[in-house]
Amino acid sequence: MTSETAFLVDFLPVIRRTLRRTGFTIDHVQYFSDALKPWIARRDRLEKFVLRRDPRDISRIWVLDPDGHAYLPVPYRTLSRPPISVWEQRAAIARLREQGRAQVDENALFAMVEQMRQITETVAAKTRRAHREVERRSATPTPREAVPAPPPPTSLPVEGYADGEPVRPFEVIEQW
């Protein structure tokens, strides 16, 4: 991992979890990588792992190795799942609970996220269409009264000049 990536990972929120035979589970989402297999074999002797997750994209977590030297990226256990944010995940869990689901599983979670995204896209398309229709209605020409053109600029006398001479631009400008 590049030092730039390691620097960014150091600022992500920390989660502590125990490694299980199937990997890590965080908020109903499972994460797994083949690189975890050596640690899975001795998981009963290891303490909780330090995990970091980007709230904007929870499709992977960063696992600090037991020695504490480097972070290992670990993706979703099911790689076909779309990247989602923590906020989408929490909203989906809340919506599932509102529907009376006592237990939330990963499949239901991602199905709800997809449903919520479709609703958002539909509403956004309708909103865009409504805005366009309003713009079209307001863009139709309405008969306007003829507004007289302003008179051409004339040189007006400047206060303080007794002779009423018009103001003229400088002829010589000193440049530095």
| CB distance 89 to 58 below 8 Å | yes
19-40 mean pLDDT = 93
The answer on 72 and 9 residing in a single domain is: yes
| Residue 40: domain span | 3-81
Q: E strand or H helix at 109, and its extent?
A: helix 106-139
Across 109-135, average pLDDT: 88
Comparing 2-6, 33-37, 113-117, 167-171, which segment has the lowest mean pLDDT? 167-171
Which one, of 116, 59, 63, lies nearest residue 84 by Cα?
A: 59
Count of structural domains within the chain: 2
Tally Cβ neighbours within 10 Å of residue 71. Answer: 20
What is the three-class DSSP state of 114? helix
Is residue 97 located within the same domain as residue 57? Answer: no
pLDDT digits (tens, 9 = 90+) for 41-75: 988 888 999 999 999 999 999 999 888 788 999 99
Same domain, 29 and 46: yes
139 versus 19: the higher-pLDDT residue is: 19
Spatial CA neighbour of 27 closest among 96, 79, 80, 129? 96
> Helices (DSSP H) in 14-56: which residue ranges?
37-41
Q: Residue 93: inside a domain, yes or no? A: yes
Q: Does residue 37 sit in the same domain as residue 95?
A: no
Within a domain: residue 171? Answer: no
pTM of this structure: 0.69
Residues 106 and 47 in one domain: no
| Same domain assignment for residues 38 and 106 | no
